[in-house]
Structure 1
Amino acid sequence: MKLRHAMVCSSNQNRSMEAHSLLKRQGFDVSSYGTGAHVKLPGPSLREPNVYEFGTPYKHMYDDLRRKDPELYKRNGILPMLKRNSSVKTAPQRWQENAADGCFDVVFTFEEKVFDMVIEDLNNREHKLMKSVLIINLDVKDNHEEAAIGAKLALDLCQELEAVDCWEDAIDDIVAAFEKQHKRKLLYSISFY
């Protein structure tokens, strides 16, 4: 099966964009989305996040944080992350507003609450095309090192899916082999467009 369009979705800009970047470099047609109400980036304290509207260009966020405290945001990895993100796409997009017209073959999420939100959203849509979509959750901690590992694992799964004629027939075996090899539990579901 040739994956025509993969999508990565998370509640932050680190995990989904790391996977987006890697999958894109490997030749996949990929999109990425957030599921929250706003884009929240760490601030000087947990109670003071930097909040931006979806659609705010990554370059604007980068310039804003560089103005506020360049040392802090360089040290905590936010400035390098925003620089990477701006090389992948212009601005973050929200799943609920932008993915409605998409027709993805597979959707990756990196935390269970996002997995549940994506499934709920897909199930609440009118299923006009009756085209199946595979939703896979791979729990990934929200730090730069784990995001890189999660992106590589998402790539491995995409390659496994591409290696079979029909993922619907092979998904149970692919997931079992992945879980055994990587010692990571996956959640997955099938929905429709």
Structure 2
Amino acid sequence: MKFRYAMVCSSNQNRSMEAHSLLKKQGFEVSSYGTGAHVKLPGPSLREPNVYEFGTPYKHMYDDLRRKDSELYRRNGILAMLKRNATVKLAPQRWQENAVDGVFDVVLTFEEKVFDMVIEDLHNRDQVLLKAVLVINLEVKDNHDEAAVGAKHTLDLCQEIEKAESWEESIDEIIAGFENKYRRKLLYSVSFY
């Protein structure tokens, strides 16, 4: 089976884009989104993040941060992340504004609060198609190394879902197998379009 996947994280574009990039390279039909009000990237201090509107091209962010302090943003990996993101898609998209046009089979989130936001958003929509959507949360720490590990785990999980004749009938076994293999708990829920 071929499913449509959505990767969703908060607002910094690291975890969802790492998974998006890896799945795209493996031939999956995948999109990625953030749920925050803005795209927030680390700045010179915790109180000084770099804030961009969703829809701002990754190349613009890259050029802006390189102009501000290329050494800082190279050292903390933000420039490399933005360069990767620009090879995946033009600009970040916000789930609440852009995902309404798409109908996904599986939505993966990388933190519980985002999982809750996606579930709430899906429940608040008119469910006219009555098409099931599987929403899974794989908790991933927000740093470059953990994002890479999380992306590999996401790929493995998606490959298992693809193998199933019917994810609706085998999701409990797929989740249990994943949790045993990686010693990581998943949250999951089924919603409808």
**TM-score (ref. length: structure 2):** 0.99
Q: CA RMSD in A?
A: 0.5
Match of 1:83 in 2: 83
Measure the CA separation in 2 of the matches of 1:191 and 1:99: 14
**Counterpart secondary structure, 1:37:** coil
Offset at residue 69 of structure 1 (A): 0.2
**Counterpart secondary structure, 1:99:** helix
Match of 1:20 in 2: 20
Q: Which residue identity lines up with residue 128 of structure 2 in the other structure?
A: K
* 1:38-65 deviations in Å (ceiling 9; x for gaps): 0000000000000000000000000000
* 1:111-132 deviations in Å (ceiling 9; x for gaps): 0000000000000000011100
Offset at residue 101 of structure 1 (A): 1.8
Match of 1:61 in 2: 61
Match of 1:185 in 2: 185
Measure the CA separation in 1 of the matches of 2:150 and 2:118: 18
Match of 1:4 in 2: 3
**TM-score (ref. length: structure 1):** 0.99
Match of 1:96 in 2: 96
Q: Which residue identity lines up with residue 185 of structure 2 in the other structure?
A: K
Offset at residue 3 of structure 1 (A): 3.0
| Identity level (%) | 76
CA contact (8 A) 2:3 2:106 kept: no
CA contact (8 A) 1:6 1:105 kept: yes
Match of 1:135 in 2: 135
Measure the CA separation in 2 of the matches of 1:3 and 1:104: 11
**Counterpart secondary structure, 1:44:** coil
Measure the CA separation in 2 of the matches of 1:134 and 1:89: 24
Unaligned runs of 5+ residues in structure 1 are: none
Return structure 1 stretches of 4+ with deviation > 2 angstroms: none
Measure the CA separation in 2 of the matches of 1:97 and 1:17: 18
Measure the CA separation in 2 of the matches of 1:101 and 1:64: 30
**Counterpart secondary structure, 1:69:** helix
**Counterpart secondary structure, 1:187:** strand
Match of 1:39 in 2: 39
Match of 1:147 in 2: 147
Q: Which residue identity lines up with residue 127 of structure 2 in the other structure?
A: H
* 1:129-168 deviations in Å (ceiling 9; x for gaps): 1100000000000011100110111111111011111000
CA contact (8 A) 1:3 1:105 kept: no
